[in-house]
Amino acid sequence: MRGLSASGLISRFAMTGTTPNNARLVDVELDESIGRSTPDVEHERAVAIFDLIEENHFQPVGDAGNGPYRLKLSLIDARLVLAVSRENGEPVVTHILSLTPLRRIVKDYYMICESYYEAIRSATPSHIEAIDMGRRGLHNEGSQTLMERLGGKVDMDFDTARRLFTLVCVLHWRG
């Protein structure tokens, strides 16, 4: 079974991003090392990949103007491996990222998401809004941490970091 890839999904939709000179991702693949989960979780992963590819700014530092890029994500010894290649498959760079700095944020993010989904069923709109503000704040914190961890390695904007953090979160979601 091949890794989950968005290239087929994206080919049916026009690119809507505004990133200049090909500093963008055109495909994201999850290696088998990520593991598979329930159909609902697989759907969330596919949506996260689609959102990331639909609009992004992504460029390995020192590789100006030589994109667009493909990104293959895998897990080795509890580390996230980001293998970047050109659209034609030519390898560009591989970065190995410790997930330790993100563990607390991801755990807290899941807890607040559970609270949010519970609140939707019975809480007041102001309570739901307060929980959602906290959820967005944690998502921003995780995105900023991811940008810092990839600083000097990958140039990306904050919105791309948010989408990549979403993907990192659903990689850990087992359903």
Among the residue ranges 8-12, 96-100, 113-117, 149-153, the one predicted with the least confidence is 8-12
pLDDT of residue 167: 85
pLDDT band at 60 (very low <50, low <70, confident <90, very high): very high
Examine the pLDDT at 10 and tell me if it is beyond 50: no
Q: What is the 3-state secondary structure (H, E, C) of the chain?
A: CCCEECHHHHCCCCCCCCCHHHCCEEEEEECHHHCCCCHHHHHHHHHHHHHHHHCCCEEECCCCCCCCEEEEEEEECCEEEEEEEECCCCEEEEEEEECHHHHHHHHHHHHHHHHHHHHHHHCCHHHHHHHHHHHHHHHHHHHHHHHHHCCCCEEECHHHHHHHHHHHHHHHCCC
Greater pLDDT, 124 or 4: 124
pLDDT tens, residue by residue, 67-95: 899 999 988 888 889 999 999 999 999 99
Note down the domain range covering 124: 4-172
How many independent structural domains does the chain possess? 1
What whole-number distance in Å separates Cα of residue 22 and Cα of residue 40? 32
CA distances in angstroms from 152 to 128, 149, 172, listed in the order given: 38, 9, 25
Name the region of 78 (left: φ>0; alpha: ψ -120 to 50; beta: rest): left
pLDDT of residue 16: 38
